[in-house]
Chain A
Amino acid sequence: MSPLQKFWSKAREGLFRQTPPLFVVLGLCPSLAVTTAAINGLVMGLATTGVLLCTALVTLAIRKMVPSEVRIPVYTVVIASFVTIADLVLAGLVPPVHKVLGVFIPLIIVNCIILARVEGSFTKDQPIEVIGDALGWGLGFTWALLVIGTFRELLASGSVFGKVMMPEGFVPWSIMQTPPGAFVTMGFIVAVIQALRSYSAQRKKASVTGKASKQAEAEAA
């Protein structure tokens, strides 16, 4: 496999196949809390991506020196350091969004996605794969948060990224901005994904059995 193929085979896993929190239930707290508007979801996703990538690079540099008994505390401190940096950077660059995200920026430390990637990939894969893995999972999380955020902002205020999108006379669903709206939206998104999955599984099954019966017919003929 060429380096690019290795990179892509890792990146697509997080980008499309196991995108959290849509396809794998990881990192649910930030997904519910910060997706009141598209911009908040985007910033949260990018912050998580940045922390993932920096953690990946440092992990690559130190992983041979870290005894496996103390790896969890060591990597937790690495993550916490980059989260502190991300917190300060966001406070300087986008103060209004930083204020909305509030306590959820420091809580990236305990976001299970990051420690799961450290354990699942960063400590054992080749460097090119590790970077692909970090970017894939981070950007996957970003697009998922962006989708949920766009959906909620559209229904809650009729706009996306602050631009009015809904026709005049649209009555905003103000509940979408509140905690109940977050839980119910996420519940329906999970249900739609499950329905689509079982539908495609059934179609696959049908096409497989269909092919098999055709083959049997052809053999019989």
Chain B
Amino acid sequence: MVFKELVLLFIGASLVNNFLLARFLGTCPFLGVSSQVKGAASMGVAVTGVMLGVTLVSWPVYHLILAPLNLGFLQYIVFILVIASFVQMLEQIIKVLLPALYKAFGIYLALITTNCSILGLAIIMIQKDYNLVSSLVFALGAGAGFTLAMVIMAGIREAMDKDAIPVPFRGNSIILITAGIMAMAFAAFSGMVPM
């Protein structure tokens, strides 16, 4: 029973309420870093990792420190600091321990602090009052959905580079319209999870 709920939560976060296409969280990297499949996949994996890490830190911070002290209104300030310091720390750790990985993910990590999907995830997880396990599954689902949408978009863009697009539509315009069509496709998942 519990397992079933967690699976539904995962599907809900990754497909039905996809962070990029249904919640509009993280649109900047969606447009900026989706020109190649490899970069898009790296960004997706980095975002998923940070989402899991931030959940692991910010859930206890909220439920063990802020909530008992009645300081819930401080959550935005605390979360943005948690995210900024977590990302910076992760960057330093990876730089020292795994230089090869740092080469592949380095620039994406620095961009992640201002990625609204991370702060959005932390706030939604508190709003919905998930427990720690559900929060982690939610973060994993959100990251998987983010990665999926990024990779699909990058694949379409790689193919689109060869097409003759009318001049005014080149650049961000055609990407946004493509995202709209992708969002329509993802809207078809909405029957999968009872809302």
State whether B21 touches A77 (Cβ < 8 A).
no
Tell me whether A183 and B173 are in contact in the complex, defined as CB-CB below 8 angstroms, given that A81-B77, A110-B115 are known contacts. no
Shortest B1–chain A CB gap in Å is 29
B179-193 CB mask vs A (1 if < 8 Å, else 0) is 111011001000000
Max chain A CB contacts within 10 Å: which of B74, B116, B123, B169?
B116
> Among A30, A106, A115, which residue has its beta carbon within 8 angstroms of that of B123?
A106
Q: Which residues does chain A contribute within 8 Å of B179, judged by CB atoms?
A: 183, 187
Q: A80 near B: Cβ within 8 Å?
A: yes
Segment among B5-13, B26-34, B95-103, B155-163 that sits at the interface with chain A: B26-34
> Among A28, A80, A192, which residue has its beta carbon within 8 angstroms of that of B168?
A192
- Closest B residue to A106 by CB, please name it: B76
Q: Which residues does chain A contribute within 8 Å of B28, judged by CB atoms?
A: 28-29, 112
State whether B176 touches A187 (Cβ < 8 A).
yes
Q: A180 near B: Cβ within 8 Å?
A: yes
Number of contact residues on B: which range applies?
A: 35 or more
State whether A29 touches B76 (Cβ < 8 A).
no
Shortest A202–chain B CB gap in Å is 11
> How many A residues touch B, CB cutoff 8 Å?
41
- In the assembled complex, the Cα of A187 lies from the Cα of B171 at a distance in Å of 10
Tell me whether A103 and B124 are in contact in the complex, defined as CB-CB below 8 angstroms, given that A28-B28, A76-B84 are known contacts. yes
State whether A73 touches B84 (Cβ < 8 A).
yes
- Closest B residue to A191 by CB, please name it: B173
- Closest B residue to A84 by CB, please name it: B76
Q: A32 near B: Cβ within 8 Å?
A: yes
- In the assembled complex, the Cα of A195 lies from the Cα of B127 at a distance in Å of 43
A60-92 CB mask vs B (1 if < 8 Å, else 0) is 000000000000110011001101100110000
Chain A interface, >50% SS class: helix
Q: Which residues does chain A contribute within 8 Å of B104, judged by CB atoms?
A: none
Tell me whether A33 and B77 are in contact in the complex, defined as CB-CB below 8 angstroms, given that A180-B180, A194-B173, A195-B168 are known contacts. no
Q: A25 near B: Cβ within 8 Å?
A: yes
State whether B172 touches A25 (Cβ < 8 A).
yes
Tell me whether A29 and B26 are in contact in the complex, defined as CB-CB below 8 angstroms, given that A73-B84, A81-B77, A190-B173 are known contacts. yes
Shortest A176–chain B CB gap in Å is 11
- In the assembled complex, the Cα of A183 lies from the Cα of B27 at a distance in Å of 10
B11-39 CB mask vs A (1 if < 8 Å, else 0) is 00000000001111111100100000000
Q: Which of A134-160 contact B (CB under 8 A)?
A: none
State whether B173 touches A198 (Cβ < 8 A).
no
Q: B174 near A: Cβ within 8 Å?
A: yes
Which of B's residues lie within 8 Å of A, judged by CB? Answer: 21-28, 31, 73-74, 76-77, 80-81, 84, 113-116, 119-120, 123-124, 127, 167-177, 179-181, 183-184, 187
- Top 9 closest A-B pairs, CB basis? A183-B180, A187-B176, A187-B177, A184-B180, A195-B168, A33-B24, A191-B173, A180-B183, A190-B173
A72-B84, A103-B25, A194-B171 given; name 13 further pairs at CB < 8 Å. A83-B76, A106-B123, A109-B76, A109-B119, A110-B115, A179-B183, A180-B181, A180-B184, A182-B24, A187-B169, A187-B177, A192-B168, A194-B170
